[in-house]
Structure 1
């Protein structure tokens, strides 16, 4: 496979620049021998991250709650990427006690992880608050706490790679949200849209703080935060039986394509964060056009997301809620 080599170093994660290293989203660099884990790799953006990474020759592991759906996803990828190297591991981020066992099964299959893409997530429209089996609000508990704890158990595999990356997939919806550190579980004020946006913002704070703590610990692992912009099912190419886009849906969504994109394109930022050697830890990457669509580029870290004091307080709260620390000394 041909590779596209970046021509210049990525800018500082805290700044924005018009000069972005060259990158061909359709022809990412080859990565034979490397191993990548994608949580929620059986559907949505996670599926397209897995499909695109598999085209590089790497081994891609799909983390999924549902083994049957993981098998369907792997069959779909193999139909489009002949010779794709794929594995699946059963992984339920809403059940924190199950994560050590899931990672143990992964450790029996691979010797290291070159990257993990923290993509899996729950989005709910129901007005009634729901909880995980551990008693955490479902979206916060799955999207944030699940990945926080998972990173702890994956760290030995990540540390075994020369320069591994943790890529956290946030959301553009988080840009307009602010964390309520006194009500992280939305017990006092539950609104599904707000709870979702805050759960994704918590993930993004985690990704930023993780990189700071990894640097302080002298780790070779880096942490990068990305978001997919506006990614709609109606603009997403079909991958039957996982996703089928009808002609009517495509026509109705055509005007929206001026501002947003499908989930195949929504995967580009995460794929670049995994593969581009010039991407640096502590950075934020998103689509080029207003942060909503287009090829991935480095963004100025959002002002509220750059607040290290909030990130540190969230880290301590998450450590207490999960009983784990991803960068335990």
Structure 2
């Protein structure tokens, strides 16, 4: 089917959870999903920022159905209570979008002692999926959409040092956490298919997204005239965060999307409308994904593959 990024299909009566939906790309995923008439839940640990995001969405989408769920992916012990607070009978899709990116030392840890980026970006979403499984399994054709990054394709995953305790480099640790997320999303779909589950797992990445090309959304963020002018040359290769949300939105809404797919921007995987990409390199390494899965089970104490799909 022809997909129009500006006119997604209606989705009244459906429920979507977007982690990190209060800012950045996650905000635009939430805004675009809200335009379909669905109920969109913003998963965020910051109540004030979530409130600002909801105010912005409602100002642009009259009658939008949006609500906030307090969600802290860096605290695994809190996730069950967060899912209980959803108070839903079923969930049509979750977009695993939230993430932490550090650009300088020192190395930081979560409450459970996991390296902060790996623990939040990967392990938090890994465990959240297990707790959400009953709600997802209640809706046939529900979707788990995991947002990776093209930087994850350029690194190796060190299974002997998943916590980056040796030679800690923040940018590399971030890239490895995104690779782990993508491997998880692809492995989850393989396990769902093997179990005969009706839920789909899809992986996306946003390409190259920068703030200077991102339209203002007060009170979430306001782009200055200077930022806009400075960002114009970069628009030849990159895009703003509104466009970067398109792959995840399509992965949620497009009935032609199949599990196990990787969706990213059309132009060199950096900008443009979303398209299906080949799964190559480390992403196609099923043994690596299976070993990461086993390690993630040990670190979180949960196994999404054992959920009631």
TM-score (norm 1): 0.92
Does 2:115 match 1:128? no
State the distance in 1 between where 2:167 and 2:256 align.
42
Aligned to 2:12: 32
Q: 1:70 aligns with which of 47, 50, 64?
A: 50
Q: 1:248 aligns with which of 212, 221, 226?
A: 226
Q: 1:295 aligns with which of 269, 273, 279?
A: 273
Cα deviation for residue 302 of structure 1 reads 2.5
Spell out, residue by residue over 1:57-80, the C-alpha distance to the aligned partner (whole angstroms, 9 max, x if none): 001011001111111100100000
SS of aligned partner of 1:220: coil
Contact 2:153 2:281 in 1 (8 A): no
Unaligned runs of 5+ in 1: 1-5, 7-21
Does 2:301 match 1:326? no
Aligned to 1:119: 97
State the distance in 2 between where 1:305 and 1:43 align.
28
Aligned to 2:60: 80
SS of aligned partner of 1:190: coil
Aligned to 2:40: 60
Q: 2:240 aligns with which of 262, 265, 271?
A: 262
Spell out, residue by residue over 1:88-143, the C-alpha distance to the aligned partner (whole angstroms, 9 max, x if none): 1100000000000000111x2x2110000000000001221000010000000000
Aligned to 1:281: 259
Q: CA RMSD in A?
A: 0.7
SS of aligned partner of 1:305: helix
Cα deviation for residue 327 of structure 1 reads 1.9
Q: Count matched residues.
A: 307
State the distance in 2 between where 1:322 and 1:71 align.
30
State the distance in 2 between where 1:265 and 1:184 align.
32
State the distance in 1 between where 2:62 and 2:156 align.
44
State the distance in 1 between where 2:70 and 2:273 align.
32
Does 2:147 match 1:169? yes
Cα deviation for residue 304 of structure 1 reads 1.4
State the distance in 2 between where 1:185 and 1:166 align.
25
Does 2:69 match 1:89? yes
Cα deviation for residue 242 of structure 1 reads 1.2
Contact 2:95 2:144 in 1 (8 A): yes
Aligned to 1:23: 3
Aligned to 2:78: 98
